[in-house]
Amino acid sequence: MMQMHQCRFQPAQYLDFVSRSFSGGLWRLADPKISLASMASLLLGACAAAREGPLSFGWLAVTIAGIFAIEVGKNASGEIFDVGTDSAVAPEDRSPFSGGKRVLVDGLVTKGETAMIAAAGYALGAAAGLAIVLWREPRVLWFGLAGLAMAYSYNGPPFRLAYRGLGEAAVALCYGPLIACGACLVQRGRVTSAVLLASVPLGLLIAAFLWINEFPDFLADRQANKRNLVVRMGRRRASRGFVALVAAALVLVAALPALGLPEAVWLGVAGFVPAALAARVLVKNPETTAALIPAQARALLSFVLMSAGTGVGLIAGPR
């Protein structure tokens, strides 16, 4: 007599699976390394403020928490709007630095859960910003509104900046002057010339990191009509555009002492060593993702070193 093997429903195992999937998806969206660009800009803003006087570490913590929450919200909303494009990235073109967080593509969370994470991230970021506006510095409101608008509009409708060739400029503005100057404003009640000047080359170098991250996604982005600058220019021509962007940032850093900043800010030039190495690899291999992954890592290291070096130079240099 044939025995029937019944598949037993085990709620505990199912709930454990769901929990592990959700936590894995949340971790991808909130992994601290996603905030390196915003934290590099915030570090520069804090260093510029420290050059003028003592920091309020409590309000610095609120600023960090708010920006981090918005980063999580931005990543989550971007996953929803970009899921079709991300799913079209070929396996050989996947990279730890591009192709989205893939939480929907890999089935870690549902679209509803992703929307919930996005809403929570934006709400927490807005709450931190509102606290600063009410009890510290009202003029931060305009910085916060601009940051929220660009974070959502990078992929979100109706503007979809990344699809119109405006994403790189938005990143340079947001992760350069907007965050750095906003952080300085929270601390000092004003935007100093030092933070404004130093944040421009940092923004360019962070935009260069985005630029190199667009190369592995080129085919998927072109198919989805995501007309970022790499898609518009083509990979070989865009590889030279990356070199030009890095060179422009280097020239600006070199010019900072002539604009009134201490010569110690030249410590930020250390960031251009990994940037140059990344540019060399990119120009030689603009169409091979496997070769580009180390270059992407170097591009990330470049703006972190530039921020740290310039920030230390601001504090250490004569006033």
Q: Which pLDDT belongs to residue 20?
A: 56
In a domain, 223, yes or no: yes
User: Domain span at residue 254?
Assistant: 34-316
In a domain, 11, yes or no: no
Confidence band for 4, pLDDT divided at 50, 70 and 90: very low
Give DSSP secondary structure letters for 231-286. HHH-HHHHHHHHHHHHHHHHHHHHHGGGGT--GGGGGGGGGHHHHHHHHHHHHH-T
Q: How many domains does the chain have?
A: 1
In a domain, 82, yes or no: yes
Is the pLDDT reported for residue 161 higher than 60?
yes
CATH code: domain of residue 88:
1.10.600
Average pLDDT over residues 58-81: 95
Q: Which pLDDT belongs to residue 91?
A: 87
pTM of structure: 0.92
Q: What is the DSSP letter of 299?
A: H
Q: Which pLDDT belongs to residue 101?
A: 84
Percent of the chain with pLDDT over 70: 94
- Write the pLDDT tens digit of every residue in 187-241: 999 999 999 999 999 999 999 999 999 999 999 999 999 999 999 999 999 999 9
In a domain, 215, yes or no: yes
Distance from C-alpha of 129 to C-alpha of 121, rounded to nearest angstrom:
12
Q: Which amino acid is at 68?
A: F
Instruction: Give the CA count within 13 Å in the CB-facing half-sphere of 161.
Output: 16
Q: Is 2:139 a contact under the CB 8 Å cutoff?
A: no
> Which residues, other chains included, contact 242 with Cβ-Cβ below 8 Å and sequence gap of 6+?
208, 211, 212, 278, 279, 282
Average pLDDT over residues 243-255: 97
- Write the pLDDT tens digit of every residue in 78-108: 999 988 888 888 889 998 888 888 888 888 8
In a domain, 296, yes or no: yes
Range of lowest pLDDT (3-7, 119-123, 128-132, 245-249): 3-7
CA 21 from centre of chain: 24
Is the pLDDT reported for residue 15 higher than 60?
no
In a domain, 21, yes or no: no
- Write the pLDDT tens digit of every residue in 260-316: 999 999 999 999 999 999 999 999 999 999 999 999 999 999 999 999 999 999 999
Is the pLDDT reported for residue 179 higher than 80?
yes
Q: Is 133:126 a contact under the CB 8 Å cutoff?
A: no
- Measured from the Cβ of residue 9, the count of other Cβ atoms closer than 10 Å reads 7
In a domain, 3, yes or no: no
Q: What share of the chain is helix, strand, coil (3-state, %, to 5)?
A: 75, 0, 20
Range with top average pLDDT, 1-15, 24-38, 227-241: 227-241
Q: Which amino acid is at 318?
A: P
Residues composing the chain: 319
In this predicted model, which residue has the larger pLDDT, 118 or 103? 118
Q: Is 168:229 a contact under the CB 8 Å cutoff?
A: yes
Give DSSP secondary structure letters for 35-51. GHHHHHHHHHHHHHHHH
Peptide bond between residue 158 and the one before it cis (omega within 30 degrees of 0): yes
Is the pLDDT reported for residue 11 higher than 60?
no
Q: What does pLDDT average to over the chain?
A: 91
Task: Select from 40, 30, 37 the least CA-distant residue to 213.
Answer: 37
In a domain, 121, yes or no: yes
